Amino acid sequence: MSDRHTLIRSLHDVGLATWFGGSLMGAVGLNGAAEEEGSTVAARARIASAGWAKWVPVNAAAIGAHLFGGGGLLAVNTHRVRTQQGVGASTTAKTVATAAALAATAYARVLGKRVELATSSAPEDNEKAGQHPIDLHQARRQLACAQWAVPALTGCLVVLNALHGEQQRPMEQFHGMWDHARSMTPLVP
């Protein structure tokens, strides 16, 4: 039976829940409200940008907690990753999905900052935007795709997390380690 690792599991799960839930709420609620309340394309972009900018520190903390907790869980479950059939594959899938979610989050932030600068009324922002002109409509379309990719990818992480939970059941561990041992020793029936 596994030891208890409540703190690292909590950091992992609460961080992931915040990352997933916040990105989904932003894509649905914040962007939807900006579309309804903004009278122009620039006004809609400014409203959405202001909301997303307020979310950045919370999101960064959530992602940090998730990654710290995930690293801790990997460290305490290394033996299962190596010896229990199926755990290595699901861990690899989870690592790939995490990297993709991080990339989508970073890309969304870069695009969001570009849209924010392009629609700002502040003189210093106009100067920066003039140095790096963008096609606002194309950037907003790409941003919408990136903002929807984040909850899709973090939703995959939630599902993979559930799979890992199932793989930790005592009988699953027994069968997984037995199957792994049998595959390593061809003479065992």
pLDDT digits (tens, 9 = 90+) for 88-116: 999 999 999 999 999 999 999 999 988 88
How confident is residue 137, by pLDDT bands cut at 50, 70 and 90?
confident
Q: 156 CB contacts (<8 Å, ≥6 apart)?
A: 97, 101
Separation of alpha carbons 182 and 83, rounded Å: 11
The answer to whether residues 88 and 82 touch, using CB atoms and an 8 Å cutoff, is yes
Q: 95 CB contacts (<8 Å, ≥6 apart)?
A: none
The token pair that represents 152 in the structure block:
């899709």
Please give the average per-residue pLDDT across 19-24, as a whole number. 97
Looking at 35-39, 52-56, 181-185, which range is the least confident one?
181-185
pLDDT digits (tens, 9 = 90+) for 56-65: 999 999 999 9
Query: Would you state the pLDDT for residue 1?
Result: 43
